[in-house]
Chain A
Amino acid sequence: MNKIWLIIQREFLNRVQKKSFLIATILVPLIFPAIIGGLIFIMIKESESAKADTVQVLDESKMFTFKSNKRFTFVPLDLSLDQAKKVYNETEDFALLYIPQIDINKPEGIAIYTKENPSIEKVGDLESSIENQIHDLKLKEYNIDEATLKSLRPKVNLKQFNLSDTGEEKSSSAGILYGLGFGLGILIYMFVLIYGIQIMQGVIDEKTSKVVEVIVSSVKPFQLMLGKIIGIASVGLVQFTIWIMLITVLSSGTLAYFGLKMPQKQVMEQVTKQMEKDPEMKEVVEQQNSKVVELLGNWSELPLLKITLVFVFYFLGGYLLYGALFAAVGSAVDSQQEAQQFQFPVTIPLLIGYMGLFMFILRDPHGSVSFWLSIIPFTSPVAMVGRIAFGVPDWQLALSIFSLIGGFLLTTWIAGRIYRVGILMTGTKVSYKVLAKWFMMKG
């Protein structure tokens, strides 16, 4: 036990003292706030400096009126199409919009001429502006007023409840659950992959530098493998903890900074003013407020402690399960390149869990595919944390936990048997048959 502790210490200190660790630990969290800050900065700059595009309008139907706004300045023309094209060509204007004589029931032949390929967004804006006007024209034609129209389209918000076995009502929100499942699942996937490969790298280094023979004359190969896996896990946990803390602090810092630039009070005042003028707006805002309150309510109603515990368990369980396999791969090969062929099959089940997260778990958390993905130990670390927030029956959770424990004991045992032979074998052409032979080898 004491020796495993020495190995863990060495693996941990050796990695943590490296410059690359320090750089990665500090830089990665800086990237997120930098991206957020950068995007907000660009958005603000853009909206401040955005110039309206000039659109020349040749409306032969005489049915449309275009009001200039922030995005477009409309200049009406009264020429033939050929002349208009010529005129447009001599200007720097964004586009020439041509509306021929049309039937509003069959609006065809409307065209836009531009010098460069316009963005979908801008074309879409113009299209919807025309569609809205046709819409209004038709309403007039059918003699329908706005009020009638509104009453035809009532707004319905489904309030969501989960009815538990005891008949207790619990409100829930698919959005929050989706986000939570998505985030936690990806976190586990990344952690397992990044640090699993570090284990493999570490084993290959020890093997190629031949230091391993001296080490295993002092400790059992299994102890060395376990020490390495645990040592690297603690590096990962430390790094993740620092990242999460830094990201939280820095992100809220940037948001707060930019938040100050757009004084909220002013925004709120404007909204209130608008609300007084416009009852519809008031309704929308109130609805939204109540939604936020509901979301916060839902958040606090989630079994957060349970989710955290489950997350930590699958985080470590998944890492141990795959870590052992990565160690076995590292022990079998003589170089990083050679490792590729075995690394791939090891990562496939992990990848299946990752894809299953999007294709099944988050869409249909209680379906049978989701069930199996969250029970089978190779996919359960990613799948179960993706599912847990949606509510998983206790028996399923227990089954999954036990099969994961069984799973990592099994992979660690298999990996240990391959590892003890592999680390002392250099220059062997390794195939699956050879691995099987190593596994079967006595003592």
Chain B
Amino acid sequence: MNALITRDVTKRYANHTALDHVSITIPEKSIYGLLGPNGAGKTTLIRIINQIINMEEGQIEIFGEPLQEKHIGMIGYLPEERGLYKKMKVGEQLLYFAQLKGLSRKQALERIKIWLEKFEVKDWWGKKVEDLSKGMAQKVQFISTVLHQPKLIILDEPFSGFDPVNAQLITEKILELKEMRSTIIFSTHRMETVESLCDHIALIDKSKKILEGPKKQVKDQYKSNTFIVEHRGNQFTFPIDRYELINQKPLDDELYSTTLKAKNGINGNQVIRDLIDITEVHSFQEKVPTMSDIFISLVKGDEALKKHLQEQA
């Protein structure tokens, strides 16, 4: 079953369209990366899923049912702009949020205790938020997002504001939640997070979805048949009708690193065969695009990607 399906979701404001027929499918128990540059419409989509704002057209299905008010308790939401009541105590605040999500007072108290222990912050109950550091407040906010054991967790830029140690802690908790059968939507433009955590992605740009699918499939789709070879000497020419030389740079000891793009229909084995005849190959690797490469190529066009690749190489 799918955790969430949106069909042709459209949202217009007076002078621009924030979402233009966006359809995505989020499989259950996946970690789904919602990518896109700033202002692409990610937050609008997330707010619509959270029923904070309404869509003009389209349908949303959550675990097989049309999205309604009663589903609020199934969703946990960590907005990009974090915020807590500064003058309220941590415990009371968590209790309030959990009750708003529909937990009974007793249930909420039990869960809060468990989570405060998980984060090793049992003694925070009576502390006021204004007395906490930024990282501490972020932990409280994370707890408030997951307290009611939502089946769908939406995290908007979850790692901003965390130091590496705490970011690691949050990553562990996210993986734990996945083990506990939650579906997680990530909205981010940090590609390393997507690379390591997400198994599905969608890319939204200028109010439209331009790409969606399992991460591996997307990457395969964007393989450009490019290979990186390290070899000795450069006194030879590639069969120019079959390859395009992207760049070449010298390494130590007369070693060179060459990036080349094979024309259609030529696979890795054939490239190696060609190379063995003309030079001494030290290493060979197919260049698989990173999420970052794909992101840039789609958002800024191929020219930008080429430049980006050249800089990397």
Contact = CB atoms under 8 A, between A and B. Distances in A.
Whether chain B is bound by chain A comes out as yes
B226 to A, nearest CB: 43
A437 B96 contact: no
Chain A contact surface mostly: helix
Interface string B65-94: 000000010010101011111111000000
B87 A215 contact: no
Nearest to A3: B100
Contacts of B56: 442-443
Chain B contact surface mostly: loop
Given A217-B75, A443-B55, 7 more contacts: A209-B86, A211-B84, A213-B83, A214-B141, A214-B144, A218-B97, A443-B53
24 contacts: A3-B100, A6-B99, A14-B85, A14-B87, A210-B79, A210-B82, A210-B83, A213-B77, A213-B79, A213-B81, A214-B77, A214-B79, A214-B83, A214-B144, A217-B50, A217-B51, A217-B75, A217-B77, A218-B97, A218-B101, A219-B100, A426-B81, A441-B13, A442-B54
The 6 closest A-B pairs by CB, nearest first: A210-B83, A443-B54, A211-B83, A218-B100, A210-B81, A217-B50
A216 interface: yes
Contacts of B54: 442-443
Interface in B19-76: 47, 50-56, 72, 75
B235 to A, nearest CB: 61
A81 interface: no
B14 interface: yes
Interface of A: 3, 6-7, 10, 14, 206, 209-219, 221, 424, 426, 437, 441-443
Interface residues of B, number: 29
A210 B84 CA distance: 7
Contact of B72 (A7, A14, A217, A442): A217
Contact of B88 (A6, A14, A213, A441): A14
Contacts of A442: 54, 56
Given A14-B87, A210-B83, A424 B99 contact: no
B237 to A, nearest CB: 58
Contacts of A424: 47, 52-53
A3 B50 CA distance: 16
Nearest to A423: B52
Nearest to A442: B56
Contacts of B97: 214, 218
Given A443-B53, A443-B54, A215 B88 contact: no
B96 A209 contact: no
A211 B85 contact: yes
Given A217-B77, A442-B56, A443-B55, A209 B101 contact: no
A209 B83 contact: yes
